[in-house]
Structure 1
Amino acid sequence: MSVLKVIEVMANSEKSWEDAAKKAVEHASKSVKNIRSVYVNEQSATVKDGKLDDYRVNVKITFEVN
């Protein structure tokens, strides 16, 4: 039987929501091992001069606990 845990992580990117999600997983993987999945819970962005400026995501990361 596996024991899984879920953490919530917020991240941002100047490129895209996809890049922000990648950054969230990369940063979490520095201290969390056995990451199994990521679920994008929420997306938002800031606007500057009429253009999208900063992409933000709130993700849930699932990992296996040993």
Structure 2
Amino acid sequence: MSDNVYKIIEIVGSSTTSISDAIEKAVERAAATVHNLGWFEVKETRGHIENGRVAHYQVTLKIGFTLDDEGA
């Protein structure tokens, strides 16, 4: 295993379908602009209620990725 340097970003995913869907959408969107993604951690989960039912899920994620080597 080589020595690496990591960076952590925080993003929020949302979905009207499920918590899992909110997480997957957030990770897929991050992967479109950030490379070397390695892990995520759910930091916070929220939702919106309408007429006594869950209408919207919102999940805050920490996402870790490996920084490129210098000169790469």
Asked whether the two chains share a fold, i.e. TM above 0.5, the reply is: yes
Partner residue, 2:62: 60
Count of residues paired in the alignment: 66
Q: Given the alignment of the two structures, is residue 38 of structure 1 paired with residue 40 of structure 2, yes or no?
A: yes
How far is the alpha carbon of 1:11 from its aligned partner?
1.2
Give runs of ≥4 in structure 1 deviating > 4 Å.
Answer: none
Per the normalisation by structure 1, the TM-score is: 0.97
Q: Between Structure 1 and Structure 2, whose CA radius of gyration is higher?
A: 2
Gap regions ≥5 residues in structure 2? none
Q: Given the alignment of the two structures, is residue 6 of structure 1 paired with residue 8 of structure 2, yes or no?
A: yes
Percent identical pairs in the alignment equals 35
Relative to its length, the structure with more strand (as a share) is 1
Gap regions ≥5 residues in structure 1? none
Per the normalisation by structure 2, the TM-score is: 0.89
Query: 1:40 and 1:15 mapped to 2: Cα distance?
Result: 17
Partner residue, 1:49: 51
How far is the alpha carbon of 1:57 from its aligned partner?
0.2
RMSD after superposition: 0.5
